[in-house]
């Protein structure tokens, strides 16, 4: 068992550890005690073991080395050592590979080189064999493919069954998936079935060469803190990863790769889900999650009509249209455009916020964007303070000007 | 129809703030609320019950104080509430949480539909719903934005649910046989507020309290011990520094300056 304790004669009652604990597990209690120096102290840090996750934040924070943490030594078993290679789940919808797959192949390849193993893509679907070359040209050294009519549409049950079976057969060390709706839905089913760890929505990955552990960093508590998570005792290690965190490799058609085609026997499968129909979203010209540029509107847009201007500007600069909860709840734009805590989390290169005040629930969904531009009549709005560039102006006056200037530059009349 | 709604008590996000002096999370006086996504799960459970009859049980795994979240769910119209609480559940990751909730749901025995919010606002993983379905060996659909139809099980019919699933490029329409699990997004409904009558009734209701013995949980599958993932470290990203205000004599000049900025960043 992990052990953590406060060394009474070193604790000065300074409360630094209380503030450092992300789980609220440390409190100051009135316990009179004496330091090694003989000084009398009134308060003592007390750790609630029911809340403590032994993360070590307090140990690092304590200036007096008053907290002792002993973590279990984890034996790396022979069984764990038999797992090799890094897999990327090559998510495809209607024959289109999700862009995040190429980003993950690039990052997975870096990690694979460090671990001296291979990077493989796993392609599941029907009539998808023509996608194999694309995966190889983006850097996959091995492509596993299961092509079957049962896999034509994404359903959690058969996809989970096939991937779990492949994992048992081939024993990959690490599996990366895009943090898409599909990835997040069925990765969890797979991890639960094969009993391994899964870390959601990672934004940074690294490997520890000694233990071969994947260090998975993700935002926690609404993006206010970052947590690095390990799966030390189980293999494979699974993670879903956000879009746009990593850059894909240049496509190179001269790359070579091994193709391994597998057949799965579905005769005894439990598939209790049936696909009936797909309805394409025609309101979104650019996929919000994958967009490099997002132009987003809030309550300040004022009406559904107002969003036409946002759309015009977004179209012109090749961006997607986002919205705050206020705008969605007012019925000006569909929910699929909502950015923030109850909508999507996005991290584009540029996020242009028009008439969005910047409530915390919205900020947690977009504050990791590279550049934030805020346009607002209220100079005191939180978004204006956070933004890389802020402009105190009425969006209905400045957007038409921006459109005019950019059109002139592009030579569009 | 027996509908089970899984909820989580979370800190109210508005009050999770960074202390500007220390750069750390402020914990004092943080209010606890029902995870915002779970409100849609509760509402959908009640609506489906109103549509086809039956009862709604609400369940949470958490510390004793999570009872207040269950009381609130009762006041909105849930019939029964179960608090699954044990010191040894502490530190559970999504695997161990899924196991614990599934063990509890199995104990109920007759559950036809489980509804979860798409994710919790503090953990943001969206993993527990699908995990529970896997542990229960039932089908699931995540990111459900509409329940089109539900047919409760009959002696000659297993029961089915038809749903719309929200994906990045559009909507899938799917059918599952019952029992099944769905995780729901905000678009599915507008949650009702608790009524005074509901609140009075909720006060009188008993919240069932289950621990690890009640649900016959295996010791090495719960809490920190049963969790495949471990938090190695927590750190605070550097706070985003405020940027530059763009001034100008009129909007044309401000627009011109902004376009230049965007060009210099390699955009446009």
Do the Cβ atoms of A178 and A186 come closer than 8 Å? Answer: no
Nearest CB among B183, B237, B243 relative to A388 is that of: B243
Which positions ≥6 away from B120 have C-beta within 8 Å?
A: B8, B10, B35, B37, B38, B128
B243 in reach of chain A (CB within 8 A): yes
Query: What span, in angstroms and rounded, lies between the C-alpha atoms of A385 and A390?
Result: 8
Helices A156-170, B128-136: inter-axial angle, 10-degree rounding: 80
Bridge partners, B171 (sequence order)? A279, B166
B148 in reach of chain A (CB within 8 A): no
Which of A180, A214, A13, A19 is CA-nearest to residue A101?
Answer: A180
Distance to chain B for A297, nearest Cα, Å: 18
What pLDDT does residue B25 have? 54
Mean pLDDT of chain B: 91
Residue A5: other Cβ atoms inside 10 A: 12
Tell me what percent of the residues of chain B surpass a pLDDT of 90: 75
What pLDDT does residue B37 have? 93
Residue B19 clears pLDDT 80, i.e. is over it = no
Q: Which residues of B touch A205 (CB under 8 A)?
A: none
What pLDDT does residue B22 have? 47
If phi over 0 gives left and psi between -120 and 50 gives alpha, with beta otherwise, what is residue A220?
beta
DSSP string, B22-61: T-SB--TTPPEEE-HHHHHHHHHHHHHHHHH--EEEEEEE
Bridge partners, A178 (sequence order)? A241
Nearest CB among B22, B162, B233 relative to A57 is that of: B233
Residues across chain A? 413
Chain A residue nearest residue B91, CA to CA: A53
Residues across chain B? 268
pLDDT in tens, chain A (413 residues): 788 999 999 999 999 898 888 777 899 999 899 998 889 999 999 998 878 888 888 898 899 999 999 987 777 788 899 999 999 999 999 989 999 999 999 999 999 999 999 999 999 999 999 999 999 999 999 999 999 999 999 999 999 999 999 999 999 999 999 999 999 999 999 999 999 999 999 999 999 999 999 999 998 776 667 889 999 999 999 999 988 888 899 999 999 999 999 999 999 999 999 999 999 987 766 778 888 999 999 999 999 999 999 999 999 999 999 999 999 999 999 888 999 877 888 889 999 999 999 988 898 789 888 899 999 999 999 999 889 999 999 999 999 999 999 999 988 76
Q: Which residues of A touch B220 (CB under 8 A)?
A: none
Distance to chain B for A140, nearest Cα, Å: 25
Query: What span, in angstroms and rounded, lies between the C-alpha atoms of B175 and A109?
Result: 38
What's the predicted TM-score (pTM) here? 0.88
Class of A78-261 per CATH? alpha beta
Do the Cβ atoms of A322 and A354 come closer than 8 Å? Answer: no
**Residue intervals in chain A for CATH 3.30.70.3270:** 3-70
* CATH homologous superfamily, domain A288-410: TPP-binding domain (3.40.50.1220)
CATH of segment(s) A3-70: 3.30.70.3270
Q: Which residues of B touch A232 (CB under 8 A)?
A: 230
**Residue intervals in chain A for CATH 3.40.50.620:** 78-261
Q: Do B267 and A349 touch (CB under 8 A)?
A: yes
Q: Which residues of B touch A372 (CB under 8 A)?
A: 243
Ordered domains of chain B (ranges, CATH): 2-221 (3.40.50.620)
Measured CA to CA in angstroms, residue B73 lies from A311, B39, B50, B117 at distances of 40, 8, 16, 13
Do the Cβ atoms of B160 and B147 come closer than 8 Å? Answer: no
What pLDDT does residue B15 have? 46
Chain B residue nearest residue A154, CA to CA: B172
CA dihedral B150, B156, B158, B159 (to 10 degrees): 0
b/e string for A94-104 if b means 16 or more Cβ within 10 A?
Answer: eeebbbbbbbb
Instruction: Convert the pLDDT of each residue in B186-199 to its tens digit.
Output: 999 999 988 899 99
B130 in reach of chain A (CB within 8 A): yes
Q: Do B134 and A189 touch (CB under 8 A)?
A: yes
Q: Which residues of A touch B240 (CB under 8 A)?
A: 367, 386
Which positions ≥6 away from A190 have C-beta within 8 Å?
A: A160, A163, A164, A167, A238
Query: What span, in angstroms and rounded, lies between the C-alpha atoms of A347 and B167?
Result: 18
**Residue intervals in chain A for CATH 3.40.50.1220:** 288-410
Q: Which residues of A touch B37 (CB under 8 A)?
A: 342
**Given the structure tokens 């406060």, which residue do they identify?**
A6
Helix (H, G, I), strand (E, B) or coil at B190: coil
Nearest CB among A272, A367, A409 relative to B240 is that of: A367
Q: Do A288 and B168 touch (CB under 8 A)?
A: yes
B211 in reach of chain A (CB within 8 A): no
What pLDDT does residue B28 have? 55
Name the strand (E) or helix (H) holding A16.
helix A16-20
**Residue contacts between A and B (CB atoms, under 8 Å):** 299
């Amino acid at each position: 068992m992990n052990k953590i304790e406060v060394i009474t004669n070193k604790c000065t009652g300074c409360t630094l550890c209380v503030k450092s604990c992300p789980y609220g597990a440390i409190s100051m209690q009135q316990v009179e005690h004496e330091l090694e120096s003989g000084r009398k102290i009134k308060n003592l840090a007390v750790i609630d073991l029911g809340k403590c996750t032994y993360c070590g934040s307090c140990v690092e924070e304590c200036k007096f080395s008053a907290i002792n943490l002993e973590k279990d030594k984890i034996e790396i078993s022979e069984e764990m050592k038999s797992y090799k290679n890094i897999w990327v789940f090559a998510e495809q919808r209607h024959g289109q590979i999700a862009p995040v797959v190429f980003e993950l192949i690039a990052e997975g390849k870096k990690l694979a080189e460090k671990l001296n193993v291979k990077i493989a893509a796993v392609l599941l679907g029907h009539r998808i064999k023509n996608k194999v070359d694309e995966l190889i040209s983006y850097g996959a050294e091995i492509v596993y493919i299961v092509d079957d009519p049962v896999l034509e549409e994404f359903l959690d049950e058969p996809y989970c069954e096939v991937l779990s079976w492949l994992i048992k057969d081939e024993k990959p060390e690490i599996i990366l998936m895009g943090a898409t709706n599909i990835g997040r839905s069925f990765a969890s089913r797979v991890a639960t079935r094969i009993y391994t760890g899964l870390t959601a929505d990672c934004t940074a990955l690294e490997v520890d060469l000694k233990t071969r552990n994947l260090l998975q960093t993700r935002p926690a508590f609404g993006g206010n803190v970052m947590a690095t998570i390990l799966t030390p005792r189980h293999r494979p290690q699974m993670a879903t990863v956000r879009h746009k965190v990593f850059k894909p490799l240049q496509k190179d058609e001269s790359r070579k790769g091994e193709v391994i085609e597998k057949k799965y026997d579905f005769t005894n499968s439990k598939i209790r889900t049936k696909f009936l129909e797909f309805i394409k979203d025609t309101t979104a010209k650019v996929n919000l999650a994958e967009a490099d540029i997002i132009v987003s509107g809030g309550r300040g847009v004022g009406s559904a009509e107002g969003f036409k201007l946002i759309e015009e500007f977004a179209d012109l600069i090749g961006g997607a249209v986002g919205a705050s909860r206020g705008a969605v709840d007012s019925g000006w734009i569909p929910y699929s455009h909502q950015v923030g805590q109850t909508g999507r989390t996005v991290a584009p290169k540029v996020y242009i916020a028009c008439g969005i005040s910047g409530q915390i629930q919205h900020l947690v969904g977009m504050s990791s964007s590279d550049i934030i531009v805020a346009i607002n009549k209220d100079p005191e709005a939180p978004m204006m303070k956070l933004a890389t560039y802020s402009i105190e102006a009425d969006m209905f006056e400045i957007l038409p000007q921006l459109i005019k200037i950019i059109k002139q530059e592009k030579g569009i009349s | 129809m027996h509908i089970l709604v899984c909820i989580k008590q979370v800190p109210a996000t508005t009050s999770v703030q960074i202390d500007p002096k220390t750069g750390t999370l402020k914990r004092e006086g943080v209010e606890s609320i029902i995870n915002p996504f779970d409100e849609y799960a509760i509402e959908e459970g009640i609506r489906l019950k109103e549509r086809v009859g039956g009862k709604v049980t609400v369940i949470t795994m958490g510390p004793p104080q999570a009872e207040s979240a269950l009381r609130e769910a009762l006041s909105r119209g849930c019939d029964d509430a179960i608090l699954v609480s044990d010191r040894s559940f502490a530190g559970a990751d999504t695997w161990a949480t899924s196991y614990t909730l599934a063990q509890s749901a199995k104990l109920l025995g007759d559950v036809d539909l489980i509804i979860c919010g798409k994710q919790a606002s503090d953990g943001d993983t969206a993993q527990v719903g699908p995990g529970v379905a896997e542990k229960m060996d039932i089908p699931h659909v995540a990111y459900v934005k509409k329940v089109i139809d539900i047919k409760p099980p009959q002696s000659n019919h297993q029961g089915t649910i038809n749903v719309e699933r929200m994906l990045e490029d559009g909507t899938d329409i799917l059918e599952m046989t019952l029992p099944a699990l769905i995780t729901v997004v905000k678009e599915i409904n507008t949650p009702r507020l608790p009524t005074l009558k509901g609140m009075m009734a909720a006060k009188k209701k008993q919240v069932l309290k289950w621990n690890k013995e009640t649900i016959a949980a295996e010791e090495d599958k719960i809490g920190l011990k049963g969790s495949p993932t471990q938090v190695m470290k927590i750190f605070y990203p550097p706070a985003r520094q405020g940027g530059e205000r763009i001034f100008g004599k009129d909007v044309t000049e401000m627009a011109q300056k902004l376009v230049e900025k965007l060009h210099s960043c390699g955009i446009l």
